[in-house]
Amino acid sequence: MYETEIEQKYRDRANRMVWFCIASFCSFRAAVELLNGNVRSAGIIAVVSALVVGTFLFLQKKRFQILPFVIPLTMYAFYLAASFAMNSFKYLYDFYLLILIIGVTYFSIKNFLALVAVTQTVNLALSIFVLPNHFNEGDVWVHFVLLFGASFMLFMVVQFAVGKTNAINKAFASFGALMKITPNVLILIDNNNEIKYLSQSVQRVLGIERPENLIGRSFLELFNEYSVSEIFSEISKKRSFYENHHKININGQIKTFDVFADKMSENEADGMFFMLNDITEIVRLKELAEQDSLMDGLIQIPNRRAFDKQIVHEWNRALREKVNLSFLMIDIDFFKSYNDTYGHRQGDELLKVAGKVFNSNLKRSTDFVARIGGEEFGVLLPATNSYQANVTAERIRRSVEEEIVLTTTGERTNFTVSIGVCAVVPHKGLEYSYIVERADKALYKAKQNGRNKVWVAD
């Protein structure tokens, strides 16, 4: 339900109350006159009541901005005139209470105070200048003082009530505005799981064109997928729920939500509050940022951070499946000299070429290469024994040896690599650092034996 509907519902309720008061008071007044045998007075009351009702309908239809102030004052004028016409002032203050009730219904506290001030001023003038000619002076002042005291007490009570009502109206207005603009899906349901209020964001997030049509219907109708409806049906039974990164199928598209649900109060009849925070885009951007943080910015292959995560993953899998895991530690020979000779920019170009060569020589999607520091690279080869790892290492070494790197001046340069190889079947008590250390020692041996070589650890 939206703000305009809330206001309309409030106005309708206020109008019904006013109609009830008018009908009750007018009927009671006419009945009193008839019981006393005053048919003429009852007729005048009926005519005045008809005028009041007609005026009320006319003002409602025209939607005059001053409607709240005009209605009570008009009624007051009608009944004042009727009292003079019937020469029956003793009923004047009875209808004054009706005027105050109608004023309470439509007025802010400021306007209600103005109504009391205006009408009581008129009543005071009547009490002093007019009514003594029809009543004895004591009765007049008794009526006036009693009604003034009653209206003052009513004013005090209404000041509190109207203040609370205004606070509630502001809260509803704020709630209505929140339901319109919030990016989150907000749903209020009753104890029968029927929707009481619904934010407009369901149109964008859940793809529902006219969300207002779902008011009063089961909130499970928001979700087309049976599995999703089943999940939320279970949540509604629990009456309390919270979960981060909850995957939900919305019209064939998987979206990620933070889902919150809780009871409105301890009373089950008050229903539940649901909030679905669509974090699909946030999760996507986070994943992209994480991917970027795992890539080497220069060579565009995984970096040391990505390697550390991958080796743990592959080591645990090899441990679980009891298969070989091989690791190649690759170092570019004499890279510092190359850098010093041709400059850092050309050194960066050589690293890019090296990364491409390493990548192109890995034949399986599970093989993994990363730059683990400076001119050092690491290659993980899952389910690969020592012999197979040696074949791959030799293929990489020969490809590098044949690669030509052009400088900015067009000079043809080349480079070589030394590779240390280690293959192991992981077992309990052995850490993944073992394979790295053994490959590093094998790399050292390859360098000691003249570089541009592959050395396999024992």
pLDDT in the model for residue 62:
58
pLDDT in the model for residue 238:
67
Residue-wise pLDDT tens digits, 32-63:
777 777 777 777 777 777 776 676 666 666 55
Higher model confidence: residue 384 or residue 267?
Answer: 384
Name the token pair of 282. 């946030």
Share of the chain above pLDDT 70, in %: 59
- Chain centroid to Cα 26, Å, comes to 51
First CA to last CA distance, the chain: 75
What mean pLDDT comes out for the span 206-235?
Answer: 73
CA angle (303 as vertex; 297, 304 as ends), nearest 5: 140
Q: Which of 432, 388, 429, 397 is nearest to 415 (CA)?
A: 397
Helices (H), 63-91: 67-86
Gap between the Cα atoms of 301 and 289, Å rounded: 15
Q: Which of 224-228, 292-296, 372-376 has the highest mean predicted lDDT (pLDDT)?
A: 372-376
pLDDT range class, residue 358, cuts 50, 70, 90 = very high
3-class DSSP assignment, residue 434: helix
pLDDT in the model for residue 1:
43
Overall pTM > 0.85: no
**Whether 44 contacts 91, CB under 8 Å:** no
Helices (H), 280-423: 280-293, 304-321, 335-342, 344-360, 386-402
pLDDT range class, residue 277, cuts 50, 70, 90 = confident
pLDDT in the model for residue 330:
96
Q: Which CATH number fits domain 294-456: 3.30.70.270, 3.40.1260.10, 3.30.300.20, 3.40.50.720?
A: 3.30.70.270
Per-residue pLDDT for 326 more than 70? Answer: yes
Gap between the Cα atoms of 227 and 252, Å rounded: 12
Q: Which of 415, 335, 337, 339 is nearest to 376 (CA)?
A: 335
pLDDT range class, residue 350, cuts 50, 70, 90 = very high
**158, HSE (Cβ side, Cα atoms, 13 Å):** 22
Lowest mean pLDDT among 88-92, 182-186, 221-225, 376-380: 88-92
pLDDT in the model for residue 156:
60
User: What CATH fold (topology level) applies to the domain 183-283?
Assistant: Beta-Lactamase (3.30.450)
Residue-wise pLDDT tens digits, 147-180:
565 556 555 655 655 566 666 666 666 666 666 6
pLDDT in the model for residue 163:
61
pLDDT in the model for residue 108:
61
Q: Which of 230, 190, 197, 228 is nearest to 212 (CA)?
A: 197
CA angle (124 as vertex; 119, 130 as ends), nearest 5: 110
What mean pLDDT comes out for the span 17-24?
Answer: 68
Residue-wise pLDDT tens digits, 96-139:
655 666 666 666 666 666 666 776 677 666 666 665 565 544 44
**Whether 155 contacts 112, CB under 8 Å:** yes
Per-residue pLDDT for 309 more than 80? Answer: yes
Element (H, E) at 235: helix 226-238
Give Cβ neighbours of residue 21 (< 8 Å, ≥ 6 apart). 98, 101, 102
Higher model confidence: residue 343 or residue 40?
Answer: 343
pLDDT in the model for residue 239:
65
pLDDT in the model for residue 224:
66
What mean pLDDT comes out for the span 263-289?
Answer: 73
Name the token pair of 156. 């005090």
Q: Which residues pair with 330 in a beta bridge?
A: 377, 419
pLDDT in the model for residue 299:
86
Higher model confidence: residue 293 or residue 149?
Answer: 293
pLDDT in the model for residue 99:
62
pLDDT in the model for residue 185:
77
pLDDT range class, residue 86, cuts 50, 70, 90 = very low
- Residue-wise burial string across 159-174, b where 16 or more C-beta atoms lie within 10 A, e elsewhere: eeebeeeeeeeeebee
Residue extents of the structural domains in the chain: 3-179, 183-283, 294-456
pLDDT range class, residue 433, cuts 50, 70, 90 = very high
pLDDT in the model for residue 3:
43
Name the token pair of 132. 């003594």
Q: What are phi and psi of 373, to 5 degrees?
A: 150, 130
Mean of the per-residue pLDDT values of the chain? 76
3-class DSSP assignment, residue 320: helix
Gap between the Cα atoms of 420 and 208, Å rounded: 60
